[in-house]
A and B are shown apart, each in its own frame.
Chain A
């Protein structure tokens, strides 16, 4: 069974640009969560989607948005990039949206903003 895949793996952008990251969950998983990982702030929750609906959102500005498609694939978008958006963005999938379901993480997309 294929794991969570994220594309692209590496991305370099400049300030002010926008970026779209993609996540394909494990087959049969309907929940997709996104996390930002930085050396300064650690792992922070961005948002979670289940059945194409955003269920939860972390404390990030509106420049960060996401969506989920009917096949459970998810995208996150960051507009007007800032230097501080440089981070590893991790996507995780689980079968359902619940507190106890194991979340399976992808390898991440390393975003560098210059």
Chain B
């Protein structure tokens, strides 16, 4: 079975500082990787995803994540955060080619990013 670990439940940072939200996973099969963001009283929005190809993926709002297969990690980074980035961030994986788990995402417990002025 899949497991996804987000190492930090809370990450407080000051505005314009860099941030890294860590995510590790374990799986016996290959995976696709996702980062979702959840603002208060809202559902989850996809931030970025890794399916194949370049291990560095970027989002339109300045976040990036790098897939590291040997370390089974998919850490999320942003060089300079804004107050509007305050939200909860979830790392998720899905398994390739397993009919029994199609359409299923395995989520980490989430990291609350709080950006202070």
A→B interface (CB under 8 Å) = 4, 31, 33, 35, 42-45, 48, 50, 55-56, 58, 90, 92, 94, 97-100, 102-108
Contact = CB atoms under 8 A, between A and B. Distances in A.
Nearest to A33: B103
B14 to A, nearest CB: 27
Give the interface size bracket for B toward A.
20 to 34
A45 B1 CA distance: 13
B51 A100 contact: yes
B78 interface: no
Given A42-B109, A42-B110, A102-B49, A97 B42 contact: no
Nearest to B49: A102
Nearest to B6: A42
Nearest to B110: A42
Residue of A33, A55, A56, A99 most packed against chain B (CB within 10 A): A99
Contact of A99 (B45, B97, B108): B97
A100 B32 contact: yes
Closest 3 pairs between A and B when the two form their complex, measured CB to CB: A105-B43, A48-B103, A43-B107
